[in-house]
Amino acid sequence: MLKTVDILIGVTVVMLLASLIVTVLTQFVTSVWNSRGRHLLRGVTDLLQQVAPGMQRDVASRIAAAVLSHPLIRAVGGRYGDVIQRNELTGVLLELAAGSGAHPLENTARDHLLKALQDGGIQDPAAALRKMTDVLLELETSHPELSANLKHNIALLEGAKSAFVARVNAWFDQTIDRVSDRFTFTTRGVTFVMGLLLAFAIQLDTPLLVNRLGTDPQLRATMVQQAVAIDVQQHRFDQMQPQQRQQMFDALASAELVSVPADFAEWKANWSGKGPHPNPTGVLLSAILLSFGAPFWYNALKNLLQLRSILTQKDDQQRAERQNSGSTQGSTPPA
**Secondary-structure percent of the chain, ordered helix, strand, coil, rounded to 5:** 75, 0, 25
Q: What is the pLDDT of residues 224-240, one digit of tens each?
A: 887 887 765 544 555 55
Q: Predicted confidence band at 276 (pLDDT cuts at 50, 70, 90)?
A: low
SS3 of 169, please? helix
- pLDDT at residue 27, rounded to an integer: 92
DSSP state of 80: P
Would you state the pLDDT for residue 182? 95
The mean pLDDT of 156-177, rounded to a whole number, is 90
pLDDT value for 267: 74
Q: What is the per-residue pLDDT for 335?
A: 47
**What's the pLDDT band for 171 if we cut at 50, 70, 90?**
very high
Q: What is the mean pLDDT of residues 273-302?
A: 85
Distance of CA 191 to the CA centre of its chain: 9
For residue 289, pLDDT over 70 is answered with yes
Domain boundaries, the chain: 2-28+190-313, 36-178
- Among 43-47, 196-200, 323-327, which is the least confidently predicted range? 323-327
Range among 46-55, 70-79, 102-111 with highest mean pLDDT value: 46-55
Name the residue with higher pLDDT: 320 or 188: 188
Q: Which residues of 92-111 are buried (b: 16+ CB within 10 A; e: fewer)?
A: bbbbbbbeeeeeebeeebbe
Whether residue 242 has pLDDT greater than 80:
no
Confidence of residue 39 (pLDDT cuts 50, 70, 90): very high
Surface-to-core class of residue 284, CB atoms within 10 Å of its CB (0-12 exposed, 13-18 middle, 19+ buried): middle
DSSP E strands: which ranges in 102-187? none
In contact, 67 and 44? CB cutoff 8 Å: yes
Q: Which of the two residues, 291 and 101, has the higher pLDDT score?
A: 291
- 146-158 average pLDDT score: 86
Q: Return the pLDDT at 181.
A: 95
The string of pLDDT tens digits covering residues 4-27 is: 998 999 899 889 888 888 998 999
Give me the half-sphere count of Cα atoms (radius 13 Å) on the Cβ side of residue 208: 21
